[in-house]
Structure 1
């Protein structure tokens, strides 16, 4: 069994010119938590998940080393949360997305796909053929296939 046999052909995606706001709208509209980012040639250039966005909207401490090599921590203001969220929503998707994308070829064996999803602790794998996005495989797709085939 190969990726092409279990992948979902309907892939929600965003373009590299889109904003984080559009990504969040897709997440909410389609009840999903991540999407591939593609260029005009349907090539995968990044992947953005709810976790990537969460890391940006969460409270951050700015850490710096002063002239005596002591670590100082400057705590962010809680009252700037709304302002930070608004700025993040208007960012280009590539400012938040991961540029190193774990993906599989259309003819990859399901056993390798399961291993990759488990080892990398990721939820979805974009599937490509000839360098272009053609599908997506989730952990659930693999589990459903195993359940229907062997149980």
Structure 2
């Protein structure tokens, strides 16, 4: 079994010029927890997850935002929680998205995908073909398809 046989092809994504506000709207509207970030050619340039945002809204003392690049997290002692959350909404997605994206090719074997998801301890892999985003595979996709028809 290969990636293209189990991947979800209706992939919600954001552009590299989008804000955290648009990311959060997609998370909430579609009940998802992570999105690929693509450029104008639909090439995968980053990935943003709910964990990236969680780290940002937590209370910290040693981080500041500088010119759309997060040197760390917004200072927690100086701002109230609501103020920090408000500031985060208009940040550029690339300020906190992970640039090192775990991805596989459209024809990757499912057993290799399972190994990557397990070893890297991640929930999703983006799937590309010829450098372009074509799908996404979650742990659930691998499990559902691997054991399909084998359970009573």
TM-score for both structures, normalised by structure 1: 0.88
User: Which secondary structure state, in structure 2, belongs to the residue aligned with residue 148 of structure 1?
Assistant: coil
TM-fit CA distance, 1:137:
0.3
More helix by share: 1
1:148 aligns with 2:148: yes
Number of residue pairs the alignment of both structures matches: 140
Q: Structure 1: 5+ residue runs without aligned partners?
A: 64-74
Q: What is the root-mean-square deviation of aligned Cα atoms in Å? A: 1.5
TM-fit CA distance, 1:83:
1.1
TM-fit CA distance, 1:150:
3.8
* Separation of aligned partners in 2, 1:149 and 1:142: 14
How has the CA–CA distance of structure 1 residues 84 and 41 changed in structure 2, closer, same or farther, with 3 Å as cutoff?
same
* Separation of aligned partners in 2, 1:94 and 1:136: 20
User: Which secondary structure state, in structure 2, belongs to the residue aligned with residue 134 of structure 1?
Assistant: strand
TM-score for both structures, normalised by structure 2: 0.88
* Separation of aligned partners in 2, 1:84 and 1:76: 8
Residue 27 of structure 1 aligns with which residue? Answer: 27
Q: Which deviations, in whole Å up to 9, do the C-alpha atoms of 1:88-123 show, x marking residues without a partner?
A: 110000001101100000011000000000111111
After TM superposition, which residue ranges in structure 1, 4 or more long, deviate above 6 angstroms? Answer: none
Matches within 5 A, 1:74-89: 76-77=76-77, 80-89=80-89
TM-fit CA distance, 1:76:
3.5
